[in-house]
Structure 1
């Protein structure tokens, strides 16, 4: 505006000079041309706008235009007010200060890891019962103010978002806010509750109904039946509200142990009194059939599968959000406060009321199996997988009555065990006596068998000696008879005298007979050969060693 005024003043001066000063016609004409040129140059320069590459020009028409229709913010056809078209980088002319006002704004840069959430100040009203404008096929068409207004763009929050990058847009029409992109961590899934999209459901689709609310397909309004798996998503988290659900194993522990040192000190002073007067502090307290109340330590391990997360969200909302549990007077997860803990309490109390207190203590493993089966069935109604239920300590001794009951049980068990010990010792003594008797009988049997065997052996030896003696006798008889026959034949052949001499010569040759006789035998015939043979045999008989005597029993 100052430039226009400056050049206008210069043009007026030049024009006045051409009339006041006496000049030739050519000089006056030159001054007139200069005045017109100065005025024109001033208008051109004064109406120019320079936009940098990182800037955008927003034009606002102040005069010489029709007023904007009611409810309209951006001028579409040259009306007064903010104009739809924007000025890009470069020089722009014709925007006279007395007609237009141009505001220079910075372009917006959406950084990595974020998205641009867009809100439109003008356009068609949102459809009835819709919270967000329908999505655009192209973010550039949405940011183009002329296209946006010409193609029925809706005012209000937009479903379409801007991914990381730099954008030039009409700041009078659109407002852009950078928000974090959706990051789904490992061990979790995200269930989307869509506030924008289609409302109709395909005829062939059969969505799951959760309390009458269907789980819908993607791009439909409602809870999406398919969760988003771990990863990064450029998503409008205002239009598509994410609910993070953990898919890792969840462990819920309910035990009587104090959690802080002051609690531990207070409980250590009077355990029984603390338990009896403050039974509400126990997470799981049961009452047996015989009227004993006592706490039980329980640990439940469960998990939510990714495919079941949408069902759980539709049923409970955010299962991992924290709420105040009135009975526990502490903050618990929604899943624990509304599903896990009530199920554990009810099932353990139902089991306990069918048993005596000591029976409940003694059948811990069986109770654990029963509770696991029932809790698994109960959690399956919520599509939560139960990995196990574990029973820890059963604090029957938490009350004075319970301590007395346990003492009675202990005394009974001690007496029973002592009786069993006595019976075992008695049985051991009886077994020991039977063993000694059996050993003695075995030894006697062994000796008897040895004696019988010895008698049989000696009898057999006697028999063998008799047989041997008979054999030797018969052998001697046979040998004698043979020799007699032989001698008889020799005597018949050679004569008695010659046979005797022949036998003597054999004995002499064998060295068994001395030539000088030691025994003299004489007969009536004057000491013949037979007498000599008889003397020799007699000597051998006399000098032969006596055979050892054999005793036969």
Structure 2
């Protein structure tokens, strides 16, 4: 083989190992990879206790190779590829180192080493004193070239606190909490527990933390801090939050509630509460409606209804804490600045006292600490129409001896301001001032109110007022008044005197008609009628007194019904009250005994019949005596009337029989005279009843005679007429005429003579009646007249007048007067002829 060929082959053979060595020395790391290096030969031995090699030490190296082309000596180094550590957005990386220095005794987490570039420089971690074990630092979201052999990575989620939530933190490492404390003190710089190293370095304490985490997302090491979520404290409308602290300074002895400290932002800054001296236990401050981020383990929040005082109600308050009430007082003194007990701190600082309070709550809504103040709701005092409120104070200055009613004071606003009442030295007991109709917000623990009717004085009445308050009458006044009042003696007591206004006793000035809001404890009103008052003694139902029973002189019991009318003049009413007290007493104890005695005395001096018969005299005597007796009582007697006197039945029967016998005798005499007159009257009545028959008979006789005469006269006239017929035919007509004239004359003369005779025989009235009878006969015959009339009415006058009246109605078209006159001869119408015999 040629030499050059051998050289060529030798060259190639020498290149192949070099190429193989070079190929083995190249390490290509991808873009998302890292390479772990292990030194196998030719290096130092790692120190005792080390796990990861540094520099030229044999073993797995702390350093890693990043993405790119790297050259390593084969057989000395071995590269193992691994991927990047990736922490997502909602994750954190928790790290535990498998090598490093030992964690100091009592510590759980390793101290933070510098310049290790988020654990990506393992050698810097080891060289700078990185400690073996769980690390305080965490990895934020991102990609990291971390040696997985040196650091064990555990992924966790980001701590998220939502709205209306809070995060409570408990540290598992740090300094010990001081003895007596429950919560660790707050430290700065830890950025809401996201910087555990700052927390430890700044003295963070192991255990429950006083700080809380507000809503948000936090990268908190869950191995170092245990986070518990809780709802935020919400106080609704119409509610309050009562707070009790579980940590803080001790409440001073004798106090129940913790003092108020500032700067805690409604208990949301627990550290400020503790640092500013907040005390453990129930707090005075309350939470109004709203949303609060309060540590629930530090502060216990209890929701309670706000105090609502409705319309027509009043709230009474009892404080559970404060200074003691002064000896002898029932209610605590009023203090300013507590804003209707809503500011409990101001109440205590201003000297508020423990126990029932004198101030009350008016209608409204109040945010009051119900642990500090107990509120009771009571109805307001309502005085109705026509009523008056009588007030009794349960607290105040003692009432002076001998006084019935407390001295009035002003400025208490109708007892609604109890503090002003006490400040102005209001006296305990019944009060003089009264409450008129209306609504009053009065503390029932301070004042009791009773309702009474108003004093109503009607028209015709006056009110006599008896005052239990005022000055006592002087001796001079008593002497003067005593001399002006009948029987008003000093020993009867000062209330028996009629005194001027402002003095104790019966007031001389009366009250006229109207409504008066009188305090009956201080003033008694006697209503006196000034109009006439009637008092009856009878047996009627509803009368006050029964009939008077008296005995007459002759021993007969007599029942007397009496009516007495009295009157009290307005100016005399006070003196009447001073005498007897009231109208009822006057009637019952004065007038009734007086009238009874008066009539007994009068009846005993007269017999029963004389007492009855002298009624007017007895009435006058009783009236005069009553008037005289009542004048002593300042009462006017208007009249005394005897209404009825009842004697015994036996006595009345005897008297009645005697009077009846006398009356019967008189009656018999009168009846005898009456019968005699009646006999004469009946006789005349019988004659009058037969008069028409007698007249008719006489008329019939006269008519018959008259007809006879008429016939004779007619016959003679006929004879003379025939005698004249013989006169010549030539004179026939004349003769006939003369004859007819003579005939008519004869007939007329005969008729006249007949009527004259009839008139002389029966009279003109009888002739009229005959003519009427003839006319009636003709009318009946013609059917113009009903024989039986429907109604017959008779009256005075002659019978002919009655017949003429009837015929006038029956024959309205006939002139009866003319007809009767024409039937009579002209001589009948002459007054001279009518007067002839």
What range describes the TM-score normalised by the shorter chain of this pair?
A: 0.5 to 0.7
Q: Is 1:248 paired with 2:531?
A: yes
1:253-402, aligned counterparts within 5 Å? Answer: 253-255=536-538, 259=541, 283-320=547-584, 334-396=585-647, 398-401=648-651
Task: Show the counterpart of 2:152.
Answer: none
Higher relative contact order (CA 8 A, sep 6+): 1
How far apart in 2 are the matches of 1:392 and 1:43?
Answer: 86
How far apart in 1 are the matches of 2:332 and 2:499?
Answer: 40
Q: CA deviation at 1:65?
A: 1.7
3-state SS, counterpart of residue 160 of structure 1? coil
Q: Is 1:217 paired with 2:490?
A: no
2:321 aligned to 22, 38, 63, which one? Answer: 63
Task: Show the counterpart of 2:438.
Answer: 165
3-state SS, counterpart of residue 152 of structure 1? coil
CA contact (8 A) 2:168 2:213 kept: no
CA contact (8 A) 1:63 1:98 kept: no
Question: Size of the alignment, in residue pairs?
Answer: 373
How far apart in 2 are the matches of 1:226 and 1:13?
Answer: 86
How far apart in 2 are the matches of 1:177 and 1:30?
Answer: 58
Q: Is 1:154 paired with 2:325?
A: no
Task: Show the counterpart of 2:356.
Answer: 82
Task: Show the counterpart of 2:329.
Answer: 72
CA contact (8 A) 2:168 2:212 kept: no
How far apart in 2 are the matches of 1:411 and 1:105?
Answer: 83
Distance 1:32 1:199, change over 3 A: farther
How far apart in 2 are the matches of 1:157 and 1:166?
Answer: 20
Q: Is 1:44 paired with 2:270?
A: no
Distance 1:43 1:379, change over 3 A: closer
3-state SS, counterpart of residue 189 of structure 1? strand
Task: Show the counterpart of 2:509.
Answer: 226
How far apart in 2 are the matches of 1:137 and 1:336?
Answer: 43
Distance 1:253 1:413, change over 3 A: farther
How far apart in 1 are the matches of 2:419 and 2:540?
Answer: 68
3-state SS, counterpart of residue 360 of structure 1? helix
How far apart in 2 are the matches of 1:403 and 1:143?
Answer: 79
Greater C-alpha radius of gyration: 2
How far apart in 2 are the matches of 1:311 and 1:335?
Answer: 12
Distance 1:409 1:125, change over 3 A: farther
Deviations 1:310-359 (A, max 9, x none): 33333333333xxxxxxxxxxxxx43332222111212222233333333
Distance 1:301 1:150, change over 3 A: same
Q: Is 1:177 paired with 2:450?
A: yes
3-state SS, counterpart of residue 286 of structure 2? helix
Distance 1:131 1:387, change over 3 A: same
Question: Larger % of helix: which?
Answer: 1
Distance 1:295 1:172, change over 3 A: closer
Deviations 1:102-141 (A, max 9, x none): 4444543434433322121111222112222122345517
How far apart in 1 are the matches of 2:379 and 2:558?
Answer: 70
How far apart in 1 are the matches of 2:268 and 2:359?
Answer: 26
Deviations 1:140-178 (A, max 9, x none): 174422221122211122111122333333332122334
1:22 aligned to 193, 200, 211, which one? Answer: 193
Distance 1:393 1:283, change over 3 A: closer
How far apart in 1 are the matches of 2:366 and 2:551?
Answer: 87
Q: Which runs of 5+ in 2 are unaligned?
A: 1-165, 171-182, 215-262, 270-282, 290-305, 334-350, 670-837
Distance 1:166 1:343, change over 3 A: same
1:128-143, aligned counterparts within 5 Å? Answer: 128-137=401-410, 140=413, 142-143=415-416
Q: CA deviation at 1:32?
A: 7.8
Distance 1:372 1:88, change over 3 A: closer
Q: CA deviation at 1:231?
A: 0.7
How far apart in 2 are the matches of 1:104 and 1:91?
Answer: 12
Task: Show the counterpart of 1:530.
Answer: none
3-state SS, counterpart of residue 197 of structure 1? coil
How far apart in 2 are the matches of 1:258 and 1:117?
Answer: 42
3-state SS, counterpart of residue 147 of structure 1? helix
Distance 1:247 1:293, change over 3 A: same
Q: CA deviation at 1:23?
A: 4.3
How far apart in 2 are the matches of 1:359 and 1:127?
Answer: 67
CA contact (8 A) 1:47 1:97 kept: no
The farther-off stretch of 47-56 and 171-180 is 47-56
How far apart in 2 are the matches of 1:227 and 1:365?
Answer: 38
How far apart in 2 are the matches of 1:217 and 1:366?
Answer: 44
How far apart in 1 are the matches of 2:599 and 2:549?
Answer: 8
CA contact (8 A) 1:182 1:232 kept: yes
3-state SS, counterpart of residue 186 of structure 1? coil
Task: Show the counterpart of 2:387.
Answer: 114
Distance 1:17 1:38, change over 3 A: farther
CA contact (8 A) 1:68 1:81 kept: no
Distance 1:151 1:288, change over 3 A: same
How far apart in 2 are the matches of 1:31 and 1:129?
Answer: 70
How far apart in 1 are the matches of 2:408 and 2:550?
Answer: 56
How far apart in 1 are the matches of 2:589 and 2:363?
Answer: 60
Q: CA deviation at 1:299?
A: 1.8
CA contact (8 A) 2:167 2:213 kept: no
Distance 1:184 1:40, change over 3 A: farther
How far apart in 1 are the matches of 2:397 and 2:389?
Answer: 21
3-state SS, counterpart of residue 346 of structure 1? helix
Relative to the length of structure 1, the TM-score reads 0.56
How far apart in 2 are the matches of 1:128 and 1:145?
Answer: 23
3-state SS, counterpart of residue 419 of structure 2? helix
Distance 1:368 1:138, change over 3 A: farther
Distance 1:369 1:99, change over 3 A: same
CA contact (8 A) 2:309 2:377 kept: no
Distance 1:363 1:163, change over 3 A: same
Distance 1:385 1:47, change over 3 A: farther
| Cα RMSD after superposing both structures | 4.3
3-state SS, counterpart of residue 36 of structure 1? coil
How far apart in 2 are the matches of 1:402 and 1:253?
Answer: 25
Deviations 1:25-75 (A, max 9, x none): 799999489993242798533599766584544332222422541x32012
